[in-house]
Chain A
Amino acid sequence: MQKRLTTKDWILYALIAVLITLLLLVMYQIDRQWLRLTEMQTALQAQAKDMRDLRSAVSSGTLARTDNAATATTPAVAAAFNRAHAMTQQAGYAQGDWSVNAFGNNLKTLTPLVSSDAYASDVQSYVLESLITRNPDTLAWEGLIAKSWQVSADGLTITFQMRDDVTFSDGKPLTADDVAFTFDFIMTEAIQAPRDRAYLEKIASVKANGKYEVVFTYKEPYFEALSLAGGMSIFPQHFYEPYLKTPQAFNESKGLLLGSGPFQMPDPKGWTPDKGNVELVRNERYWGDVQPSYNRILWKIIQNDSARLTTYRNGEIDAYGARPKEYADLKQDPQMMDKSQHFEYMPPVAGYSYIGWNQERGGKPTRFADKRVRQAMSHLTDVQRVIKDVFLDYAEPAVSPFSNTSKQHDPALQPYAFNLEKAQALLKEVGYEDRNKDGVLEDAAGQPFEFKLTYFDANEDTKRMVLLLKDLYAKAGVKMIPFPQEWPVMLESLNKKDFDAITLGWTSGIETDIYQMFHSSQAKTDGDNTISYKNPELDKLIDQARATVDEATRMPLWQQAERIMYDDQPYTFLMRRKTLAFIDKRIHNLQMTKLGLNRGLLPLENYVPAAQQKYQQ
């Protein structure tokens, strides 16, 4: 007999399907309840611990006294929290909501010291804190964990007095021992932190002097001594110390992150890259005078540019950094402008882009070893034109590694102007002439002036710039071959110093140290002086400036160094680009400071008014 589906069968199948669906839903529900339960459990445990601590404090009688003292003095807010405090006084201020951002790439690790990318340090800045911080209005240093500090007359010893009410996010107090431990931890050879060690090597020792005082002693005077000591992120000794015994476990770890900052990892040991997103939750025990407004900080991984823009348009991330051309177009887009505040500004720490002329290859000097050739190339590189055509005026020409607004910069120096005749004259002086009438210059030996310009292939604007420069150089009979490369391959050729010329960028700080890229000692393998630029005069000035603590005498030294670089043109300095950002309208209290836009500055200065809050947890 043939089997047929009768109505009865249909009903049976439908019932089974309904049952299975119900079962799945119940499983999902129970799973959610379970997660919630564990969350509540950890919160309860933390509270119980706090209660115990409180009870013991009350019984020992210490609390009563400090409490009286606190009420007697005004509820003073430490200077570092002044701006954040002002925000809390605004009419619409409310706590809550999340800050959602996007990263363009997967993170390898969140563990401090081991991580090397800007994304990880962005996350760490919400979790780890340092002794002092810069005031965004005055750029002066203010105490964060430190209350006050003294620098000895010779500049070699710095003593910090620390606040006594600072705790890590697990409730343990932060003391001078943690600071000393942090230094020792970084200086441990087995820990993979060569970059941090290279800077901290200037410090001879860090000693805890009592529970809340710490003394940094330097081997030699160093101009950034204060920021180096005070800017060091403080690690909790009880959390990181076990890894001194198993350094390999630390070096290979993916998410060991615990600190005293306003946010904490939900699980300080549990993050792994396969989770993709990075999520920070509010540190309920935050010691600061002003509590952060957001409940959570979330970073999504969105690698594709247009996907990131769509996500922003849909309101799933809070900010979008646009390319110049895109920015100009999006400003005309009503849907975009409806939901966004837009900012275009030149951050004072904006890095500069450059073309580096490799002066030594395979042990032999290249054609760029001659200063006049580099000067000619700078005269041919029409930076104004690049800024106008490619970056639509959202950039300013760079004269040197020092920002135009910095005190290190000598305002008398003007960027190299496009000057075809001068460049041709310089090249002729060196001996370049078009000997075989093919449009390209040849040197005395008949070798054509032809070189490859290496650039990062994923950046569209750079590619457009390179093609423009190719046409500009052609006018003087210089043949440039665009040579796009993948990031890892490019880093490899940088390390091996195996390229003709390269275009890249450097970030800079408030005061820029040029030792790393221009001092001849850094021309070694793996050093950042990848173009093998050597000038003993400049070396001397850099060493001198770095060892000068007094700003008034240091700045002229930097300016002198700048003049040498201006004349030498080891790089053709291109430009500093403006930050072009769209930020969701619900984010309030966005202000421009001397450090740039205050979004993401710590202590947090942004909030979302209660009515506009989007995420409830």
Chain B
Amino acid sequence: MTKHEVSRESFSRRIWRKTWQGWGVKLGFAWIAVLIFAGVFAPFLANSMPLLMSKDGVISAPVLDYLTKEDVVVLVMFALLVILAGVSWSVGKRLLIFVVGALLATLLVNALLKPPSVVIYDQFRSTVYTEVDWRVMPPITYAPQDYLRDFGDTGLEAPLEASDRTHWMGTEENGADVLSRMIHASRIALSIGLIATGIALVIGVILGGLMGYFSGVVDMLGMRLVEIFESIPTLFLLLTFVAFFGRSLYMMMIIIGVTSWSGYARYIRAEFLKLRQQDYVQAAVAGGLPLSSILFRHMLPNGVAPLLVGVSFGVASAILAEATLSFLGLGLVDAPSWGQMLNQAVKSSMFNWWMAVFPGGAIFLTVFAYNLIGEAFRDAIDPKLSRNAGVNG
């Protein structure tokens, strides 16, 4: 038969290699990459102001003057990610540096940056910005909140319907460019998915880990807590919060995160219950290591694999929750969101197909992509499904 070979690659690397095998998962990651690109560079892809212009010999970049605090934070975080991906430090160290860097950037930006708090988009089509020596405009020359007030009522025009303006995906109800809003909305979709799931993951791992490690009474009480949280209908909680505390994206992220950790807690608990009797854990306990070290340094890396599956599905469901809220008209007021645009598909008894196809397609593709990734992870982790697992060749 084949010769016996011991794989030298680490567990995580093996999982990653096997996940990466199918076509579906590559498409999924490709779509997420497109979204990340659109989300990070949204202000440079779709905006009303020139990226760069030269007027009377003075070169300026109006788009930089109007970058919001969020824009800058997102750009800094992206830069950090790129740099950290290049260096060969341990995962923990890189994660720590990323979190510290992101927090620092948020604080600095909040303290130092003073972007204009109102933007009058009409002015970018006035002579101050048009009669210049040369200028570089973004690919889409409309900002998401630019309702084209200087053109009168431009609401709900089909793609390429207007002759004097180019809207590749038409305009929405208030007259803004749909493609521009689609691009900016990808940031909301991504961030709500990642942050809400991140919150859920932190709570779930800590509580689940404690439950699994201690078992007994702690486990019993913890499971009851899990059951309580599982019985809270997230959507209704969101509806109530929106009604009483106004609409805020951060509030949504926190609520979705705080109510959806129970699944992760269950996964981790099951893994830890299995691991706590293993020799290396016993050895760590006997060695007198502190609890945090036992839990997170020794046990977590061995029990984290099934979480990856849950996380990718969780991100998808968080995106759907936000889209549902926006679709019901309870999302953000005029910040772009896919669900909110989808809500405008049937308005005034007319079926506005471009408001259904593009945002609906984007939601579908994103949720589908996360599900493909989640399934690929599951197949890779499940020993029964992965025939060619590393050790057995």
Contacts and interface: CB of A to CB of B under 8 A. Distances in A.
A277 to B, nearest CB: 24
Interface in A404-458: 436, 438-440, 448, 450, 457-458
A443 B121 CA distance: 25
Contacts of B303: none
A229 to B, nearest CB: 43
Nearest to A308: B349
Contact of A482 (B119, B155, B334, B349): B334
Nearest to B244: A489
Contact of A330 (B120, B333, B349): B349
B18 to A, nearest CB: 48
Contacts of B114: 436, 438
B329 A457 contact: yes
B277 interface: no
Given A439-B117, A467-B147, A389 B153 contact: yes
Most buried by A among B118, B334, B348: B118
A484 B247 contact: yes
A306 B347 CA distance: 8
B379 interface: no
A468 interface: yes
A389 B117 contact: no
Given A325-B348, A467-B174, A471-B147, A439 B118 contact: yes
Contacts of A323: 348
Interface in A380-418: 388-390, 392
Interface string A541-585: 000000000000000000000000000000000000000000000
A484 B155 CA distance: 20
B246 interface: yes
A448 to B, nearest CB: 7
Contacts of B153: 388-390, 392
Nearest to A472: B149
Contact of A458 (B120, B149, B329, B333): B329
A304 B155 CA distance: 22
Interface string A455-481: 001101001100110111011011100
B116 interface: yes
A143 B336 CA distance: 59
A392 B156 CA distance: 14
B173 A464 contact: yes
B117 A440 contact: yes
A302 interface: no
Nearest to A470: B334
Contacts, number: 72
B346 interface: yes
B152 interface: yes
A568 B346 CA distance: 42
Contacts of B115: 438
Given A326-B348, A326-B349, A479 B246 contact: no
Contacts of B155: 325, 464
B349 A329 contact: yes
A483 interface: yes
A399 B337 CA distance: 38
Contacts of A325: 155, 348
Contact of B119 (A439, A448, A450, A486): A439
B328 to A, nearest CB: 10
Contacts of B333: 463, 467, 482-484
Nearest to A481: B333
A309 interface: yes
B147 A468 contact: yes
Given A323-B348, A325-B348, A468 B119 contact: no
Interface string B102-134: 000000000000111111110000000000000
Contact of A439 (B116, B348, B349): B116
Contacts of B116: 438-440
A438 B118 CA distance: 8
Contacts of B217: none
B349 A474 contact: no
A549 B292 CA distance: 85
A588 to B, nearest CB: 26
Interface string B330-350: 100110000000000011111
B243 interface: yes
Interface in A27-43: none
Contact of B174 (A436, A458, A464): A464
Contacts of B119: 439, 474
B30 to A, nearest CB: 36
B355 to A, nearest CB: 14
Contact of B152 (A389, A450, A479): A389
Interface of A: 306, 309, 323, 325-326, 329-330, 388-390, 392, 436, 438-440, 448, 450, 457-458, 460, 463-464, 467-468, 470-472, 474-475, 477-479, 482-486, 489
17 contacts: A309-B349, A329-B349, A330-B349, A388-B152, A438-B114, A438-B115, A439-B116, A439-B117, A439-B118, A439-B120, A448-B117, A464-B173, A468-B149, A471-B120, A474-B119, A479-B118, A485-B243
Given A457-B329, A464-B173, 8 more contacts: A388-B152, A438-B114, A439-B120, A440-B116, A464-B155, A472-B149, A485-B243, A486-B243
Interface of B: 114-121, 147, 149, 152-153, 155, 173-174, 243-244, 246-247, 329-330, 333-334, 346-350
